[in-house]
Structure 1
Amino acid sequence: MSTTAFGDFLRFYRSRVPLTQEELSERTGLSTRAISDMERGRTLSPQFRTVQLLVGGLGLRGEEAAEFTALARVSRVAGAEERPDAPFAVTSCSLPPVLIELTGRESEKKLLDGFAADASSSSRLQIAVVHGAPGAGKTALAVDAGHRLGARFADGCVFLDLRGTDAEPLTPDKAAHRLLRSFGVDERQIPADPDDKLSLYRSQLRDRTVLLVLDNAENEAQVRPLLASSPGTLVLLTSRRTMTGLDARHRLPLELLPLNRSVELLRAVTGPDRLDAEPDAAERVAELCGGLPLALLIAGNRLTSRPQWTIGHLAEQLEDERRRLSVLRAGDLQVRAAFEISYHQLSSAAATLFRRLALVTSPEVSVALAAVLVDDAEESLEELADASLLGISETPGRYTRHDLLHVFAAERLELDDDPAAVLKARTRLRHWLLDTATGAALFFDHDMPAERAGPVHDKESAARWLELELENWRGALRSAVAEGEHDRVLALAQAMHWYSDMHGVGELWREVFSAGAHAARRLGNAKGAAEQLNYLSWALYALCGRPHEALAVHEEAAAEPIDDTLTEAWNCYYGSAIRRRLGELEKAVSLGRRSVEEFQRAGYLIGENLALSLLGLMLHTAGDLGEAAEVQQLSVDQHRKAGGDDELLSMLLIRLATTLAAAGQVIAAMDLLDEAESLFHRHSNTAGTARVQHGRGVVLMDAGRFGEAREQLLAALGEARLSDHRVEIMARLAELADAAGDSAQAREYRVRALAECDRYDTPAVRVTAAKLVAALK
């Protein structure tokens, strides 16, 4: 059949309606020129989507529609046979070869597969933007897509490097010229005028279905003229910039590789035998490369080119931050050079902020924190994010930065910033973090009023800020200790007392209160030193499971030369808790009674109520449930009458509920636990909720309600803070598994509990450990 048959029938059906070419163009969205070329046989391979538009525009039905579609199919086959030259013959636009198999990007490949499928069924141009940090592997992903997906497009794949990171990126005019050559247009037919050239390019693309890969784009202005409408075509655009100005149907931010995929890529480059011989060192190299594919590729190449090296030797080289970027260099591949290109394209303000972010400890930064370092911080943060030198955090208003860019920023800070200005910025940041953390912690203080300060304005925002900025304010504390800023260190440690009761881990508070005690002593503040040592003893026995060490610190606190009733009350309070952990119940009860008396003498009701509740715990442990319930009920009643803090009340309720349950008053205990949980929920206190769930699980288990007990204990396990609670929870879960006949699950819980026991040194934990060992035999 002649390849002009399709054009003849198109003309016949159009005349039968009748429609002019212009009217059919309006109906179908196809250009008048495209319709004219098909009728004259100049377009020999109309695409399926084009044919479907014509069928609809001409109103064809049934056999006529089927015949018309079949004619188009025959025309495409015949047209391909009549065109001996490859449609994309220009070498500069050919798809680069795949030098190493793309590794660790399976999910991204699936997404690109979906983008290609969307393009085949869409009547509009499909644009997919792949953006990411320098060295993230954008080009490798695009080249892989070209080789895998090009055959799905009738006219194949066209690849063009737009040279967006070069000193002179391709202009739209030059890019259009190269693309026209790739379409087979003779050099003599390409207009010299840029506008005419772009018009010809658009007309050529309009009737083709291609996978058009535009790699390494500079900005939206460079690529927008190249985005001609072509149904069925997919434009795959890669750039370091996010290209937010483009109306892209699909966006794919290329994240850094997680550790397991980083090791896979290193294995692909280096070979499995070498990595299998040093798995730990290989994992460390992958960690130090920060998940950046370019860094991993360079590391692998260095190993393959130096067979005498061990992987451990390379890891040792990378450990030194000041040398790391120099080590990550192989031939013309350099991580530093990749970063420098993006850095030198920044505005002066954004470049300054980028460098000064090296002063920030955490890999995340907020707008408020960045504003301490530079003016107009939000605009600069957005510029850095658009350049993929920062990522966007899942928490609104925060930005992320990966390790190697932090190392590079530190280099540029030393090279490009005035040392005096850096010192001022460093000091300003440290003071802001310490002052803000101190103010935030005071929202949890039951004795001192807190005031709005910066990003913190109430208890909820304070809790959120302290958690999000933990790494930063902890780093600021360490710097303040090193700088001898004792006043600020002590102020922060004092403010953290009540906040620490429900937040943070043992090692954090061990560090904070140790620093506070040191600062107080350097300031000659004996009372402050005693307070901080008491808080430190609490962290040691309650959170770190080190009661012997806690006792030594507590005795230091008691030895401070002060005469203060309230401090003495706290000494007795913490001493009572420590003695209980050491199994010295008589001393624990005696100190508990004395702490109540001292708090009463001092007129400090909050302390009195806490001491009454703790005394009840001592009496409960000693077996006197009657008096235990009595003093704990008194603590609750006094706290309610005074209108005390909800979260403190919840802790008092949990202790009373535990005693009542032990005395057989299960219903009353459950009511108190329900009340405590509702109060903790009101303040989003997950640690407190876990303590309620732990207590409820024990009560339910003792009542024989095993299924409900297991549910509560499992919920508590993930958030349990106290040193002995996790051991008890897992031991209880093992017993429940035994009762359910699941010996494997029981064994797993006992092994985990035994491992947890190794972290703590208390008589009770040692007894539990012996029982666990016996049960495992």
Structure 2
Amino acid sequence: MSTSAFGDFLRFYRSRVPLTQEELAEHTGLSTRAISDMERGRTLSPQFRTVQLLVSGLGLRDEEAAEFTALARASRVVSVRERPDAPFVVASSSLPPVLIELTGREAEKDLLDGFAAEASSSSRLQIAVVHGAPGSGKTALAVDAGHRLGGRFADGCVFLDLRGTDSEPLTPEKAAHRLLRSFGSDDRQIPADPDDKLSLYRSRLRDRTVLLVLDNAANEAQVRPLLASSPGTLVLLTSRRILTGLDARHRLALALLPLDRSVELLRAVTGHERLDAEPEAAERVAELCGGTPLALLIAGNRLTSRPQWTISHLAEQLEDEGRRLSVLRAGDLQVRAAFEISYDQLSAGAATLFRRLALVPSPDTTAALAGVLVDDAEEALDELADASLLGISDTPGRYTRHDLLHVFAAERLELDEDPAAVREARTRLRHWLLGTATRAALFFDHDVPAERSGPVHNRESASRWLELELDNWRTAVKAGVEAGEHERVLALAQAMHWYSDMHGVGELWREIFAAGAHSARRLGNAKDAAQQLNYLSWALYALCGRPHEALSVHEEAAAVPVDDTVTEAWTCYYGSAIRRRVGEPGKAVWLSRRSVGLFEQAGYRIGENLALSLLGVMLHTTGDLAEAVEVQQRSVDRHREAGGDDELLSMLLIRLATTLAAAGQVIAAMDLLDEAESVFRKHSNTAGTARVQHNRGLVLMDAGRHGEAQEQLLAALGEVRLSDQRVEIMTRLAGLADAAGDAAQAREYRVRALAECDRYDTPAVRVTAAKLVAALG
């Protein structure tokens, strides 16, 4: 069962009534946003009360109500926590009590259980380092481990706070003194000399098998003298620092809690009844706490100490980023204070980088990007990572930063830096992002040579950079428009033309090409404005499912007076595809023929080959298969002769293969699809591969090879970019499920396809939607 199935069925039942999201919100008392999030699959764990309200508001009865409730139950993420029958009794009273049951750390608890088991059978000292950002719950995990696991060690558990975040952390000899007292040594038996004291500590530890919890370590130098050899003993260290200088057998990076676990922790503090009354608001509070256990604990405490407050009220307070850290305080618990301790210990260079990373929209960064903001960026990044103020990404060479630290960095940027320096850094970063994105996109351009510089030096590195830095360069485009940097914005939009063919989603390209058209107008360049309007019309009809809006933009581009044959040819090219989608095949064929002639007149061979291929698609639509095959074959042959781009060739091959299959030449069609897929896989082009799998699935299905067809269509479904193609795939999969006798699976595919129809309004899709409604009864 797909995790999006619940949302798709909700959309289906709402549309059947019919009700808008706003009307359903009025009927149920839920918020419009909550209904929208459920339909889009953003809320994967609807509460039981929410589901019952929806059942009532939608008028569901009997089997439909039961099925809908079961879907909600299937999508809910359930956290199951093991609870021992009885707590272990530890031998030392130094272990702090557990005030709140540890929540959301089941995987980490299992790892610590394994560390303890390994220590009991090992002949060497076992050291486990638990590190993480301020407020991530390191101490809570260690204390829980002490209570749960202390009984497994002959001499119990000994706990010591090393006060590593204080202005004066415990010295090793003071720590040894306190540990000796925990071992039962009288003060009169403890030597005054620091070396003798440490020597006695080591000898006493060698005689014991304990779980030694050294909490809040400052650095390696503080704890290294305390790591005496003692087989069977496990030393559990917690620190904000990674402590890379220690020879630790085990390391556990304490990540932030995912949303469902964050809600569970909030529930543990606040109580089930209160959270169940406002489940959507509770999720929003948990989301705004950024998965930080300290923030969630504070938020829960604020709610329990203010029973008059609604959870929605607290969520509204936290929505204001400028006030968020001020809201997250309860008595002596403060998120901001926890962050300040680590920030104040940074070197000047690392502190500057930490602040200026607030200018980066994405939570990820690299040495190249950081180098735009400060000198000696790699050294500063290492220091921030060691201090757990940045995380190490799963992607090599990248660092991550969580939401609340971003808010804190923005505060420090405003407080600690000169406004003029901040403006200069922001501008420098924006220019670098726009320039690098433009250079990267040109590696996909068939007309303009690319420049090898910075983090992009070939097509593969350019593709990787554009994908990983998408949020950053996309935001830079918006900021560039606002700053009036129209030449930079237009240059980027022009460079993205060929890259956009196989990468990115519709809303991205709608934004980029709309910005390009705006900048071209502001610069007074009619030709560039028409060009960008053409690209915008393509994004609207091909990716966004807005063919009528695309037609309006196309007509605007056609009305721009330009004395340029290639631009006019592109206008006809895009216009042809739009006319086909709005149900005007004759007009589409005429525009395609005109596009071929204009490209030929201009001597632009790439455009002519593409236009010939598109003409074949239009002729296929009107049933002229013989001419369709002829012009598409001519397009492929010319492109091969010219040694053209192989990914562009693959697009031409897919079009030809589809027409050949329709003409009964199935084997030839399959061979061309195989060739296209091999090229796309060579370039790690998932969208292109999905396009091949989609078309191959259709060919196989029509040939009666249902098992192979289903495999290809399922593989394509997750990666295909176009809404109308997703509708077709799910409709075909429903037919295959019918043939296999799986009525439930067929129904799910039809509901999902019908939900997708809402996003793509063309005559063909409307016909499909009507058939889906009829099939669903």
**TM-score, normalization by structure 2:** 0.88
- CA positional deviation for 1:618: 0.5
Matches within 5 A, 1:135-150: 135-150=135-150
| Alpha-carbon distance, 1:88 to partner | 6.0
- Per the alignment, residue 366 of structure 2 pairs with 366
Amino acid at match of 1:660: L
Conservation of the 8 A alpha-carbon contact between 2:506 and 2:539: yes
Counterpart residue number, 1:445: 445
2:771 maps to 771
Distance 1:277 1:88 in 2: 43
- Give the superposition deviation at 1:722: 1.7
Q: Which residue of 2 aligns with 1:375?
A: 375
| Counterparts in 2 of 1:87 and 1:397: CA distance versus 1, 3 Å | closer
Matched letter for residue 765 of structure 1? V
The aligned counterpart of 2:240 is 240
Deviation at 1:375, TM superposition (A): 0.6
> 2:90–2:151: 8 Å Cα contact kept in structure 1?
no
**What does residue 743 of structure 2 align with?**
743
Other-structure match for 2:287: 287
8 Å CA contact retained: 2:440, 2:462: yes
Distance 1:186 1:335 in 2: 39
Matching residue of 2:496: 496
Q: Distance in 2 between matches of 1:723 and 1:757?
A: 8
Per-residue CA deviation, residues 620-639 of structure 1 (Å, 9 max, x unaligned), is: 01111111111101100111
How far apart in 2 are the matches of 1:193 and 1:418?
50
Q: CA deviation at 1:420?
A: 1.3
Residue by residue over 1:491-541, the C-alpha shift from the partner in whole angstroms, topping out at 9 and shown as x without a partner, is 000000000000000000000000000000000000000000000000000
Match of 1:390 in 2: 390
State the match for 1:120 in structure 2.
Answer: 120
Matches within 5 A, 1:161-560: 161-560=161-560
**d(CA) in 2 for partners of 1:629 and 1:773?**
35
Cα distance in 2 for residues equivalent to 1:370 and 1:434: 15
Give the Cα separation in 2 of the matches to 1:741 and 1:412.
63
What stretches of structure 2 of length at least 5 have no aligned partner?
1-88
Q: State the alpha-carbon separation in 1 of the partners of residues 255 and 498 from structure 2.
A: 39
Q: Which residue of 2 aligns with 1:717?
A: 717
* CA displacement at 1:423 relative to structure 2: 1.0
Task: Give distance in 2, aligned partners of 1:526 and 1:252.
Answer: 59
**TM, length-normalised to structure 1:** 0.88
Query: What's the counterpart of residue 654 of structure 2?
Result: 654
1:592 and 2:557 matched: no
Tell me if the contact between 2:90 and 2:150 (Cα under 8 Å) persists in the aligned partners: no
CA distance in 2 between counterparts of 1:511 and 1:188 reads: 76
Return the offset for 1:312.
Answer: 0.5
1:217 aligns to what SS in structure 2? Answer: coil
Kept in 2, the 8 Å contact 1:138–1:254? The answer is: yes
Secondary structure at the residue paired with 2:130?
strand
User: Displacement of 1:404 after TM fit?
Assistant: 0.2
Measured in 2, the distance between the counterparts of 1:204 and 1:162 equals: 19
**DSSP-derived class of the 1:708 partner:** helix
Q: Which runs of 5+ in 1 are unaligned?
A: 1-85
Percent of pairs with identical residues: 86
Counterpart secondary structure, 1:737: helix
| Equivalent residue letter for 1:736 | L
Residue 418 of structure 1, CA deviation: 1.4
Q: CA deviation at 1:645?
A: 0.5
Higher mean Cα deviation, 559-568 or 401-410? 559-568
1:100-143 CA distance string (max 9 Å, x none): 00000000000000000011001111000000000000000000
Matches of 2:469 and 2:410, distance apart in 1: 20
**Could you tell me how far 1:422 is from its partner in structure 2?**
1.0
Counterpart amino acid of residue 232 in structure 1: G
Which secondary structure does the structure 2 equivalent of 1:733 belong to?
A: helix
- Show CA shifts across 1:4-35 (max 9, x none): xxxxxxxxxxxxxxxxxxxxxxxxxxxxxxxx
Quote how far apart the aligned CAs of 1:563 are: 1.5
Q: Distance in 2 between matches of 1:87 and 1:370?
A: 48
CA distance in 2: counterparts of 1:294 and 1:482, whole angstroms: 38
Q: Distance in 1 between matches of 2:682 and 2:176?
A: 62
In 1, the alpha carbon distance for the partners of 2:686 and 2:90 equals 63
Letter in 2 for 1:599: F
Mapped contact 1:161–1:214 kept (Cα < 8 A): yes
Q: Assess if the C-alpha contact under 8 Å between 2:109 and 2:145 holds in 1.
A: yes
Matched position secondary structure for 1:484: coil
CA contact (8 A) 2:90 2:147 kept: no
CA deviations 1:557-608 (Å, max 9, x no partner) are 1111212111110110011000000010110001011000000001001000
The alpha-carbon deviation at position 681 of structure 1 amounts to: 1.3
**SS of residue paired to 2:698:** helix
Tell me, in whole angstroms, the C-alpha distance in 1 between the residues paired with 2:107 and 2:562.
Answer: 65
Contact 2:90–2:157 (8 Å) recurs in 1: no
Contact 1:198 1:225 in 2 (8 A): yes
Contact 1:517 1:528 in 2 (8 A): yes
Question: 1:266 & 1:184 partners in 2: Cα distance?
Answer: 40
Q: Distance in 1 between matches of 2:529 and 2:90?
A: 82
Contact 1:88–1:184 at 8 Å: present in 2 too? no
Aligned partners of 1:506, 1:231: CA distance in 2, in Å?
61
| Stretches of 4+ aligned residues off by more than 2 angstroms | 86-89
Cα distance, 1:157 vs structure 2: 0.5
AA in 1 matched with 2:489: V
User: Is the contact between residue 88 and residue 183 of structure 1 (CA under 8 Å) also seen in structure 2?
Assistant: no
Question: Kindly tell me: are residues 87 and 556 of structure 1, through their superposed partners in 2, closer, same or farther at Cα, counting changes over 3 Å?
Answer: closer
Q: SS of the counterpart of 1:321?
A: coil
What amino acid maps onto 1:472 in structure 2? N
Task: Give 3-state SS (helix, strand or coil) of 1:302's partner.
Answer: helix
How far is the alpha carbon of 1:244 from its aligned partner? 0.4
Task: Give, as a single letter, the amino acid of the residue that structure 1 aligns with 2:466.
Answer: L
- Contact 1:87–1:182 (Cα < 8 Å) also in 2: no
Q: Matches of 1:562 and 1:633 in 2, distance apart? A: 32
Which has the larger Rg?
1
The letter of the residue matching 1:590 is W
User: 1:428 and 1:565 mapped to 2: Cα distance?
Assistant: 38
Paired residue for 2:134?
134
User: Does the CA contact (< 8 Å) of 1:321 and 1:407 recur in 2?
Assistant: yes
Equivalent residues of 1:137, 1:293 under 8 A apart:
yes
1:228 and 1:643 map into 2 onto residues whose CA distance is 69
SS at match of 1:496: helix
1:708-736, Cα deviation, whole Å (9 max, x unpaired): 00000000001101231111000000000
Q: Tell me, yes or no, if the aligned pair for 1:88 and 1:181 is still in contact at 8 Å.
A: no
RMSD of equivalent CA atoms: 0.9
Residues 298-322 of structure 1: CA distance to partner in whole angstroms, max 9, x if unpaired?
Answer: 0000000111111001000000100
1:21-100 matched pairs, under 5 angstroms: 94-100=94-100
Larger relative contact order (Cα-Cα within 8 Å, sequence gap ≥ 6): 2
Which letter maps to 2:421? A
Shift of 1:679: 1.1
AA partner of residue 343 (structure 2): Y
The answer to whether the 8 Å contact 1:87/1:184 transfers is: no
Partner SS for 2:251: strand
Residue in 1 that maps onto 2:674: 674
| Residue in structure 2 matched with residue 48 of structure 1 by the alignment | none
Report the number of matched residues: 689
Q: Within 2, Cα distance between the matches of 1:382 and 1:768? A: 56
What secondary structure is seen at the aligned counterpart in 1 of 2:519? Answer: helix
